[in-house]
Structure 1
Amino acid sequence: MFNGHVQTIVPSLWRSVPDVTYQRERVETPDGDFLDLDWSRQAAGSADTLAIVSHGLEGDAGRPYVRGMVRALKRAGLDALAWNYRSCSGEMNRLVRSYHLGDTDDLDFVIRYALATGRYRRIFLTGFSAGGNVTLKYLGENPDRVPGK
């Protein structure tokens, strides 16, 4: 397309919402708040790889672009976890603290939580817009904290 703005806007006008079934899990964070995790898993533990999907600014796991990525990951044989930033899952969080583009602590928590299930040998990260920023910042700011690097 001839214009970057049009290239961004036009697909969102005609994009359908992919059919994805989530199992929501609410997890308590170390600071007394919560995060809502939306899982899309392969049949009965058949996947040993998880892809964690981080949405964009003011998005959530239900956005068509997130659901489309989750569907593609599942078709590729991976489990997918679309996590919702604080206050982005349809319910306000308990604490005044919200998410921001420089905060990687919640992503680190989600990764460690998923690894603690003992189900996954590998984890991939993907993010859209703000989620891409958080993901790249997480990977670059303290490489020693990144599991399995």
Structure 2
Amino acid sequence: MRRLLRTVDGVSIDAAYDPGTRPSGDLAIVVAHGFTGDLGRPHVRRAAGVLGRNAAVVTFSFRGHGASGGRSTVGDREVHDLAAAVAWARELGHARVATVGFSMGGSVVLRHAALHRAAGSEHAGRTEAHVDAVVSVSAPARWYYRGTAPMRRVHWLVTRPVGRAVGRYGLRTRIHHREWDPVPASPVESVPLIAPTPLLIVHGDQDGYFPVDHPRMLAEASGDHAELWLEHGMGHAENAAEDELLARIGDWVAAHAG
């Protein structure tokens, strides 16, 4: 099933729904891809297919990616895109909804869970965009990180006009030219607000973008609430996540969501 969703700030988001191959009925997993990905990319489809062994799966393209509207804000307003996808999963009848995010998507699922957990607590109830479990894979802990060559290339892509042109025409990613104002809460600032929602942090010890101090910072910020998997030999995000790891993530979600 394919559908165009509308975010609270008016951006159209291309989304797809798959009931899964062995669904547990009331559980859905919303997959949040990494920067320059989209719901049609082979690595995103593969991840969704493996996770679909445990649950129904919603995939979507972040703003500025694929067939979605708008321009990428590289992790800021993307929380609205994820909220729209989670709300759609609830609309489809799923009582339990978990998010699994990779790289930029990994930072977004953390910020989204913190925002909607806080909103639900403030109003003595949970919003339709709240989640029952969160998995963050290969996410940064802090913003503006330039400590690796791949991240220096990402910053060039985002901050330079010629880089944004490469993103648009070479990577099918339309990037907003404005800087963040205000700067959103970082992933490490968001993590403490997620509890008691179950949280799994997954990271490869060979990640070329974010070294292992990032997942360790996130786990420490959780106050021992989060579970941390440091995967031996794994690189970065969806492309590096083997089917066996994705299957373990799916099993963890099925056991911890709700």
Please give the TM-score of this superposition, normalised by the length of structure 1. 0.68
1:115 is aligned to 2:103: no
Deviation at 1:121, TM superposition (A): 1.3
1:84 is aligned to 2:58: no
8 Å contact kept, 1:85–1:99: no
Deviations along 1:54-110, one digit per CA (max 9) or x if unpaired, are 00001001223211221112222x10011111131236x2x5x54421221221222
8 Å contact kept, 2:30–2:100: yes
CA distance in 2, matches of 1:106, 1:128: 15
State the partner residue of 2:27: 49
State the partner residue of 2:5: 27
State the partner residue of 1:129: 103
State the partner residue of 1:7: none
1:106 to 67, 81, 97: 81
Deviation at 1:141, TM superposition (A): 4.0
Unaligned runs of 5+ in 2: 120-129, 133-196, 198-258
State the partner residue of 1:12: none
Deviation at 1:147, TM superposition (A): 4.8
8 Å contact kept, 2:35–2:105: yes
Change (3 A) 1:51 1:114: same
State the partner residue of 2:44: 66
Deviation at 1:142, TM superposition (A): 4.9
8 Å contact kept, 2:65–2:72: no
Matched residue type, 2:39: A
Specify the SS of the correspondent of 2:66.
coil
CA distance in 1, matches of 2:84, 2:53: 26
Which protein has the larger Cα radius of gyration, Structure 1 or Structure 2?
Answer: 2
Matched residue type, 1:68: R
Please give the TM-score of this superposition, normalised by the length of structure 2. 0.42
Deviation at 1:138, TM superposition (A): 1.5
Matched residue type, 1:106: D
Matched residue type, 1:105: H
